[in-house]
Amino acid sequence: MTQVVKAKAGKAKVGITETALRDAHQSLIATRLRIEDMLPVLERMDEVGYHSLEVWGGATFDTCMRFLDEDPWERLRTLRKHVKKTKLQMLLRGQNLVGYRHYADDVVREFVKRAVGNGIDIMRVFDALNDTRNLEVAAEQVKKEGAHLQMCISYTLSPVHTNQVFVDLAAKMRDMGADSICIKDMAGLLSPVDADTLVRGIKKETELPVQIHSHYTSGLASMAYYAAIEAGADVVDCAISPFSMGTSQPATESMVAALARGKYDTGISLDNLIPIADHFKDLRKKYDNIFVGLNGADTNVLIYQIPGGMYSNLVSQLRDQSAEHRLNEVLNEVPVVRKAMGYPPLVTPTSQIVGTQATLNVLVGERWKMVSKEVKNYFKGYYGKAPAEMDLEVQAKILGDEKPITCRPAEKLEPEMEKAASEIRAWITQPEDVLTYVMFPAIAKDFLMKRYAKINLRDIGLDDTVEEAAYPV
C-alpha cells in the first residue's frame, strides 16, 4: 500500500504523478507521441522523484498500431527498460480494458497478467458507470499479480451523484482490495469545495491513500488540487508545463512551486524539471499542427459536462454532415440524452455513446427515432447498471419486447482467447499478440501480418525497401 512519505526537515510529502507520457498527449495531440519522442528524456524523468509516471493505457494502445506503426507491448517494455527507479502506471477501463466494449473474463485476466509482467506497477482501474461489478475481475487479477490496485471513481455532477454516494463507492472499492482510491475528474468539474468534502470523507471512511486526477478545461483544477491536498490527498496528477493546462492537467512545475517549503512539499526540485520541460517544448513545436489549443478556461464544460475529447468528436461528426452550425443544438441535447440514460458519467465509452445519440436526435429531427447499436446495448444493460433509473418510455421505444439483463454484463460473454489464438496462429510472434487481436481485430490483423513479414524478411537478410513492399495489405 502506498504510504505518505516524509520529505526533508520532517515535512509531509505530496506525490506527483506525471501524465506527459499518456494522458497529456492524449488530451492535447490525439495521443500521437511516439516512443522515439520519449526515449531521450526518460532517464531524466526517472531521476526527478515522481510518485509515478503514467505511461500506458487509455487510448495509447490502439493509437500505437492505428497511427504510429508501433507495438504497444514493445513500447511498454522499452519504457520499463529505461525507467528503473520510478513506478510505471496505466489506465485500465475495467472490463473494457483498453478497448471500447466488454471483453470476456479470460481476456481481462490475461491482459492484467501481461501488463504487469511487461512492467506496470500501478493499475488505475475505472468503470464508466461506476458499476463495481465491471471492476471485479480486473481488481482480483491485479491483486493476484502483486501490482498496486488503484480503484477509480468516475467523478461527475448530476441529481444522483452526491459526495456521499462517492464516499460509499470508495468504501466498496476498499472492500474489493483497493490499495488506493483515485478521484478521476475527466471533465474538470471538481470544485475546491467538493474536493475538500470528498477527500475528507473518503479518507475518514476508507483510511486509504487518495489521488486526484483532473483536467484544466474549466479552470478549476489547480484550486481543486490544493483544496484536496489540504484535506489529505496524497498524490495529484500533473503534466510538464508545455503539455499542461487546457484539456490536460495542471502544470507540474507550478504545483511543485506552490507546495515548496511548506508542509506539503513534494520533494521535487524545479531545477530537475527544466531540461524535461525543454524537451517537451521541442515536442510541442514538432506537433504544433495538431496541438489542441484552448485560450483561457472553457466554462461551458461546467454547464454541458462535456470532456475535451467528446467536444472535438461532436464537432467532427457535425462537420462530416456539413452541420457544424448546429453545434449548440447538440450541446443542449446532451443533458436530455444523459438524463434519459440514467445520468452516466461522460467518460469513454459513455461519452461517445451519449454524444453520438445527441447528434442523431438533432440531425434526424426526432428523439430516439434512430439509435446506434451501442445505445441499444446500453439500454439492454450490456454496459452495466446506470447510476439512476433510465427513462422507461425511451427504453421501451428502443428495446420493444426485448428485456434488459440484470446480471454482470461479462457473464453473457463466452471465453475469447482460445478462438482468437487459432485465428491468428500464423502471425503470432509473442503471447501478447492474441490480446491485441481480441481487442482490435481489424487493426491488429494488418499490423501483425506486416510485422511478421518484416521479421521473416529481416531474418533472410532483405533490406527495408523490400520489407515495405512485401507484406500483405
Nearest to 50 by CA among 58, 41, 37, 59: 41
pLDDT the model gives residue 168 = 98
| Exposure class string for 19-36: b at 16+ Cβ within 10 A, else e | bbbbbbbbbbbbbbbebe
- Global confidence as pTM: 0.91
For residue 274, give the C-alpha cell: 527544466
335/158 Cα distance (integer angstroms): 10
The residue ranges of DSSP E strands in 305-372, in sequence order, are: none
The DSSP output letter for 180 is E
Residue 460's region, left for phi above 0, alpha for psi from -120 to 50, else beta, is alpha
pLDDT the model gives residue 10 = 42
Dump pLDDT digits (tens) for 19-35.
999 999 999 998 999 99
443/46 Cα distance (integer angstroms): 33
pLDDT the model gives residue 7 = 37
**320 pLDDT band (50/70/90 cuts)?**
confident
The DSSP output letter for 101 is S
Is the bond preceding residue 349 a cis peptide, omega within 30 degrees? Answer: yes
pLDDT the model gives residue 3 = 44
**455 pLDDT band (50/70/90 cuts)?**
low
Is the pLDDT score of 11 beyond 90?
no
**255 pLDDT band (50/70/90 cuts)?**
very high
Instruction: For residues 133-157, give the mean pLDDT.
Output: 98
Nearest to 354 by CA among 321, 401, 387, 319: 387
The DSSP output letter for 399 is H
**Three-state secondary structure call for residue 200:** helix
Q: How far is CA 227 from the centre of its chain?
A: 24
165 burial via Cβ count (<10 Å: 0-12, 13-18, 19+):
middle
Average pLDDT, the chain: 91
**44 pLDDT band (50/70/90 cuts)?**
very high
**Cβ partners under 8 Å of residue 99, min gap 6:** 61, 62, 93, 439, 440
Rg from Cα positions in the chain:
22
Amino acid at position 101, single letter: R
Asked whether 179 and 149 are in contact (CB, 8 A), the reply is yes
**Three-state secondary structure call for residue 192:** helix
Dump pLDDT digits (tens) for 72-120.
999 999 999 999 999 999 999 999 999 989 999 999 999 999 999 999 9
Please give the domain boundaries of the chain with CATH numbers for all domains. Answer: 15-290 (3.20.20.70), 306-410 (1.10.472.90), 415-456 (no CATH)
Please list the residues that pair with 124 across neighbouring strands: 91, 150
374/289 Cα distance (integer angstroms): 33
220/305 Cα distance (integer angstroms): 13
Is the pLDDT score of 5 beyond 90?
no
Is the pLDDT score of 198 beyond 50?
yes
Nearest to 293 by CA among 282, 274, 308: 308
**DSSP symbols for 10-59:** G-B--EEEE-TTTHHHHHHSTT---HHHHHHHHHHHHTS--SEEEEEETT
Dump pLDDT digits (tens) for 286-315.
999 988 877 788 887 888 887 766 776 787
pLDDT the model gives residue 471 = 26
448/429 Cα distance (integer angstroms): 9
pLDDT the model gives residue 456 = 61
